[in-house]
Amino acid sequence: MSETAQQQGGRLGGKIALVTGGSRGIGAAVARAFAREGASVVIASRKQDGLDATAAEINADYPGRVHPKACHVGRVGQITELIDWIEAELGPVDVLVNNAGTNPHFGPMLTATEGMWNKTFDINLRGAFELTREVVQRLQKAGRPGSIINMTSVLGQGAAPLQGVYGMTKAALISMTQTLSVELGPANIRVNAIAPGLIATRFSKILIETPDILERFTSRTALGRHGEPPEIAGAAVFLASDESSYVTGQTFSIDGGYTIT
């Protein structure tokens, strides 16, 4: 932990973080962990009421740390408005967690409609790209370091039958992570990714509640179970903190051993 972080109370003391998809699941768990470690955290998603409820819950334990702001990351204009709002209310973003995601299609890849394709790419990939560009441009203009964390998936690291379009977006995020880490390294802006396995969230509810699908995942997972959102949050704290100051371009598979079996 840096001396500054120690003085400001936690591994992320003094940092301003933005977590998209922050109203529930992995995003909410990351926001809670960041707040616990002293960061000021903005959580963003499409619906303000869900954000307000999550912020109130976390702020009950860590008063004043979490700030909810609605934003549709598939709409570029809203992204600019979000970053402007954060800078006006709190200051410049130090840490960006691109966690917003969607998966409207479950089935053979070639049966995905144009609408399903566009929605998946707009949220999962284009939104992350545009948010990263907006945050990085401001960091570079101010000469500030930063940390970008892209939430990918084990489905972006190999074949993703029945979830192919989703897997494509996550594979592209891994590629984006690697390229940007090289391009932004001289500016001391680190870019890393987290690839969760099967995690118990509303997003994955259908997978966990379908016995044959759950068995297929857990049977090839070394730990023999699915994960929980807080088990992802610890890696995000590490990548956001100065403890990972020499880490960039990496994808951390947090999957209970799924990808090694």
**pLDDT one-digit tens code per residue, 22-76:** 999 999 999 999 999 999 999 999 999 999 999 999 999 999 999 999 999 999 9
Is 167 strand, coil or helix?
Answer: helix
Percent of the chain's residues with pLDDT above 90: 89
Catalytic residue among 62, 166, 246, 258: 166
Which residues have a Cβ under 8 Å from the Cβ of 166 and sit 6 or more positions away?
A: 101, 103, 105, 120, 124, 153, 155, 160
**Is-above-0.75 flag for pTM?**
yes
Q: Is 101 domain-assigned? A: yes
Tokens for 124, please give them. 């999962």
Q: Is 93 domain-assigned? A: yes
State yes or no: is 166 an active-site residue. yes
Q: Is 187 domain-assigned? A: yes
Q: Is 260 domain-assigned? A: no
Q: Is 196 domain-assigned? A: yes
Q: Is 261 domain-assigned? A: no
Q: Is 107 domain-assigned? A: yes
CATH of the domain at 78: 3.40.50.720
76: containing domain = 3-255
Q: Give the per-residue pLDDT at 203.
A: 82
Q: Considering only CA atoms, which of 194, 170, 167 is closest in space to residue 252?
A: 194
- Split into its structural domains, the chain has a count of 1
